[in-house]
Amino acid sequence: MAETDTVRRPTAEEIERLFVGSAPRHTRGEVASLAGVPPELARRIWRALGFATPADDTPAFTDGDVEALRRVAGMLGGETIDEETVVRMARALGQTTARLAQWQSEIMIGALFDPAEPPGDQELAGAVEATRRLLPDFEALLVHVWRAQLAAAGTRLLAMADVGAETGPGRPSMAVGFADLVSFTQVSRELDEQGLAELVENFEAKTSDVVAGHGARLVKTLGDEVLFTAPTAETAARVALDLVDVLREEGRDVRIGLSYGPVLPAMGDVFGTTVNLAARLTAIARPCTVLVDAGLAEAVEGSPGLLLHRIRRRPARGLGVIQPYVLRRPPEGPA
């Protein structure tokens, strides 16, 4: 009992030192000077990474920050990238890792703490110690997965270049899909906060597994909706049909819209008329139904295991009158 009573609440400084190593000891001007990076560029990089700009005389930067900026200076020393590219890459890194860190923290908190009780000093100290043990493995896994995802992204880019070379530079052709949970607003009113969080996480987990299983890409999640892309129309069609089946097994109905055509990839997202059309098709689809546009229907016509049924033309906001098709699996024959 005496040992438990001596457990001390971890301080913010201890937590910071656990993750970033040495304590902050350099000001803004010092870190830029030591790294050999212009002060204005250093300021832009920190802001792009998502960190507040400290006062000029505040020791807010560590030795690790100096080394990171030195690496930036090294990248700028060649002819491959310029300052604007560095800032854009920093913004991509900052936004992605901020969400990752928050998400992982929430998972750990949920696993280690009782949500009905505020954690005491002993629980907080235990969480810090668990993090200390797991951090090296998490860090190694992060680098490995990042490299593997870069390889997958490169492979997708090659596939899109082969499929959509006729659309011109920067506008590859691909299939875009939206999957939307039916009656989400009504269901969310019937659940408490924990139940709603579990519903959203389960939906995202199931859709992520199906999309990844087909070699497609989950672009983003929006609570009750996900956006995914695939290099070919047939891949997207099979993703959509599997999503309907998997979520129906979970007792959840989903509606899906698919479109195929040129898109504009930017900031890890996709934009353009093809994306808007997929969203409009999702909005008019019935529960447990996949609606596709004429371009995707033409691309998958005759593919085994896919059946198309043309329905009446209808207006789509901002896109005029469109011709939707219902995508289904062929009926199973007698055994």
Q: Residue-wise pLDDT tens for the chain (335 aa)?
A: 444 456 788 888 888 888 888 788 899 999 999 999 899 999 999 899 888 888 888 898 999 999 988 888 888 876 778 889 989 889 999 999 998 988 888 888 888 888 778 888 888 888 888 888 999 999 999 999 999 989 988 887 776 666 555 545 557 889 999 999 998 777 778 888 788 888 888 899 999 999 999 989 999 998 889 999 998 999 999 999 999 999 999 888 999 999 999 999 888 899 999 999 999 999 999 999 999 999 999 999 999 999 999 999 999 888 999 999 999 999 875 44
The reported pLDDT for the residue numbered 160 is 63
Residue 229's φ and ψ, nearest 5 degrees, are: -130, 160
The reported pLDDT for the residue numbered 261 is 94
Report the alpha-carbon distance of residue 335 to residue 291 in Å, rounded.
29
The reported pLDDT for the residue numbered 170 is 55
Report the alpha-carbon distance of residue 164 to residue 160 in Å, rounded.
6
Nearest to 231, CA basis, from 286, 316, 172? 172
The reported pLDDT for the residue numbered 301 is 92
Distances (CA, A) of 303 to 50, 156, 185, 216, 300: 46, 21, 36, 18, 5
The reported pLDDT for the residue numbered 274 is 96
| Angle in degrees, 0-180, between the axes of helices 12-20 and 121-163, rounded to the nearest 10 | 40
The reported pLDDT for the residue numbered 335 is 42
Report the alpha-carbon distance of residue 302 to residue 293 in Å, rounded.
16
pTM, 2 dp: 0.76
Amino acid at 71: R
Nearest to 243, CA basis, from 212, 271, 222, 220? 212
